[in-house]
Amino acid sequence: MTLVRRSIWDPFTSLVRQMDREFDSLVRRAFGPGAGTEVTGFVPAANIAREGSDVVITLELPGIDVERDVDVEVAGGRLVISGRRTEEHEDTEGGLVVRELRSGEFRREFALPEDVSADRVEADYDRGLLRVRVRDIARPAVSPAKIKIRGAGRAEKPAVEGAPAEEKDTHAEEKDTPGDTAR
């Protein structure tokens, strides 16, 4: 069985890509650092995994000198990983046709519980992957439990304090009471 891959030009795909580029450019100019300057950053891919009671965040940072160009810090209840990838200039005769390798500054932030301090965070780098371990962060999973509803079968209380409770049909009770006589 032979799989044939056909490449069909789709004008809508190119239109969507062009609109994405224009929107990204507009947002960068309006809200980016230095609002108005060109930003050529990238966002490194990240995985977040639980290993026992630890949480491990892994970022892809190939080709980056992590000792010089990457900072990992805990501040304000957040884990902040920031840095930059410098652009390598190569002299080629024909010039660069396609550039997919991104360079520039990046910043990733992850929320932490209030009780996490910097002494519970450690980072190591190997083969292009930065692994940041936050120790003793994961709480044990709570098993589902059924909650009993109090007041089931009793008269309803008003939802808002001071609001009248639902009135019962008091006339129906009077008619059914033995020994009462109609007037």
Per-residue pLDDT tens for 61-89?
988 888 999 999 998 889 999 998 877 66
Calculate the alpha carbon distances from 53 to 38, 109, 132, 137 in Å.
Answer: 42, 21, 14, 6
Distance CA 91, CA 103 (A): 17
The predicted model gives 140-154 an average pLDDT of 80
Which residue, among 14, 63, 56, has the nearest Cα to 42 in the 3D structure? Answer: 63
pLDDT at 25: 78
CATH number at residue 126: 2.60.40.790
Specify if 170 maps to a domain.
Answer: no
Specify if 160 maps to a domain.
Answer: no
Asked if 83 and 18 sit in the same domain, the reply is no
pLDDT greater at residue 39 or residue 102: 102
Distance CA 39, CA 59 (A): 21
Both tokens of 89, joined, read 């200039």
Per-residue pLDDT tens for 118-146?
999 999 999 999 999 999 886 666 789 99
Q: How many CA atoms lie within 13 A of 173 on its CB side?
A: 4
Asked if 31 and 104 sit in the same domain, the reply is no
Asked if 108 and 129 sit in the same domain, the reply is yes
Q: Domain total for the chain?
A: 2
Q: Where are the alpha helices (DSSP H) in the chain?
A: 11-31, 66-69, 170-176
Per-residue pLDDT tens for 7-63?
566 677 777 778 888 888 777 777 765 544 444 567 888 999 999 889 999 999 988
Asked if 58 and 80 sit in the same domain, the reply is yes
Distance CA 46, CA 56 (A): 10
CB 62, CB 128: distance < 8 Å: yes
Asked if 70 and 135 sit in the same domain, the reply is yes
pLDDT at 17: 78
pLDDT at 172: 47
Asked if 29 and 63 sit in the same domain, the reply is no
Asked if 130 and 85 sit in the same domain, the reply is yes
- Which residues constitute the domain of residue 120? 41-89+98-140
pTM of the model: 0.51
Asked if 57 and 108 sit in the same domain, the reply is yes
Asked if 29 and 72 sit in the same domain, the reply is no
Asked if 56 and 66 sit in the same domain, the reply is yes
Distance CA 109, CA 130 (A): 14
Asked if 83 and 128 sit in the same domain, the reply is yes
Asked if 29 and 108 sit in the same domain, the reply is no
